[in-house]
Structure 1
């Protein structure tokens, strides 16, 4: 199930924390001490660290990832966040490609189905609030949807198949398939042969043998 288990018990400071991250120098490791240095010292605020890990902004040990540094660029931060949300909540976006526009109630209902009763109503509510609060801070109009691993594999297989077909077609032209015409210098010539009337099969054998010799 591609749904993050991390959530916030209160999302009121989420926007402020993310804005502070953009305005601060990236730490060697994102710890509670670093969060406190941004003036967010509440226990509820500390849960954002787990959320940032789910969004692949941080490694498991708290080190900033490439995505974290990309987020620091204010010209693309909202799109980077949208891509991170799309990737973290893959299953939800597979159910509804416009999940970011769903109401909290609809999101909670989908979470309930996707989690198969794994979470209580209270937890599902907080997960729904966390998701909708994140989406409100992201720009999905300019973000490229993240591909799931299975989608990526399917695309690779299609590309390989196209390459194979293209190679076979090219090989066919090189062999001057009579059905496709004679290829010389990149040009294709269709040759029509008018056979003479003759009852002697040796006449036709000689003609086809000559064609094979000169066209192969």
Structure 2
């Protein structure tokens, strides 16, 4: 059974829309008015980008921008966001070739024809290929960003170090002639580089281990 694949009838305009929303303020709704006034793109070709962005997952059914829309506006995540949308748009092609984004134009064209049942020279087939190529050009399929929230520990002192002077146990130094031993008092300083966390259990574990292996020896 033939499947339909998403495509734009004006790939160049769609590319302009995607480029402009990176720098425009985020609207409550992505509407024709937003495209016309905020992005400066008018006409039916620009307006047709809205249903396509819904298919991409950039715009919700009610027109509100999605989280993927916000990620796309982040310069560090823009290409990754397109890559996510791309894999959803062309999930059927990925079933046929898991590395379809790396395939040649001829290979992709063959898969489109096989998937849709269309003719390779038809307008729809060619527009599908053009849309596919435009999106994969601005997408990243390999990079994953690990987001780590940096949390500064509270009240842990400068440079996250815990300085504590601790007395060593007394010991007697005897002589070979049985003379009376002499008591020697020593002290040492332990500098701990504590992890950047607010989890009190982490600190409890550190000081428990310190007490067991150093203070109680």
TM bracket, shorter-chain basis? 0.5 to 0.7
Tell me the equivalent position of 1:43.
44
Tell me the equivalent position of 1:169.
none
Tell me the equivalent position of 2:194.
none
How many angstroms apart in 1 are the aligned matches of 2:8 and 2:138? 15
TM-score, scaled to structure 1: 0.59
Residues 52-201 of structure 1 aligned to structure 2 (within 5 Å): 52-117=53-118, 121-142=122-143
Check conservation: 1:92, 1:111, Cα contact below 8 A: yes
Deviation at 1:29, TM superposition (A): 0.9
More helix by proportion, 1 or 2?
A: 1
Deviation at 1:113, TM superposition (A): 1.2
How many angstroms apart in 1 are the aligned matches of 2:105 and 2:3? 15
Tell me the equivalent position of 2:17.
17
How many angstroms apart in 2 are the aligned matches of 1:114 and 1:70? 30
String of CA shifts for 1:8-51, please: whole Å, max 9, x gaps. 12222333321211101111111111111201113222221121
Tell me the equivalent position of 1:212.
none
Q: 1:108 to 1:119 in 2, by over 3 A?
A: closer
For this pair of structures, how many residues does the alignment match? 144
Q: 1:17 to 1:3 in 2, by over 3 A?
A: farther
SS of residue paired to 1:60: coil
How many angstroms apart in 2 are the aligned matches of 1:126 and 1:5? 10
TM-score, scaled to structure 2: 0.59
> Can you give the 5+ residue segments of structure 1 that lack an aligned partner in the other structure?
145-216
How many angstroms apart in 2 are the aligned matches of 1:27 and 1:4? 30
Check conservation: 1:6, 1:51, Cα contact below 8 A: yes
Check conservation: 1:30, 1:58, Cα contact below 8 A: yes
Tell me the equivalent position of 1:192.
none
Check conservation: 2:5, 2:90, Cα contact below 8 A: no
Deviation at 1:65, TM superposition (A): 1.2
How many angstroms apart in 1 are the aligned matches of 2:118 and 2:131? 19
How many angstroms apart in 1 are the aligned matches of 2:105 and 2:125? 10
How many angstroms apart in 1 are the aligned matches of 2:19 and 2:129? 21
Q: 1:129 to 1:79 in 2, by over 3 A?
A: same
> Can you give the 5+ residue segments of structure 2 that lack an aligned partner in the other structure?
146-217
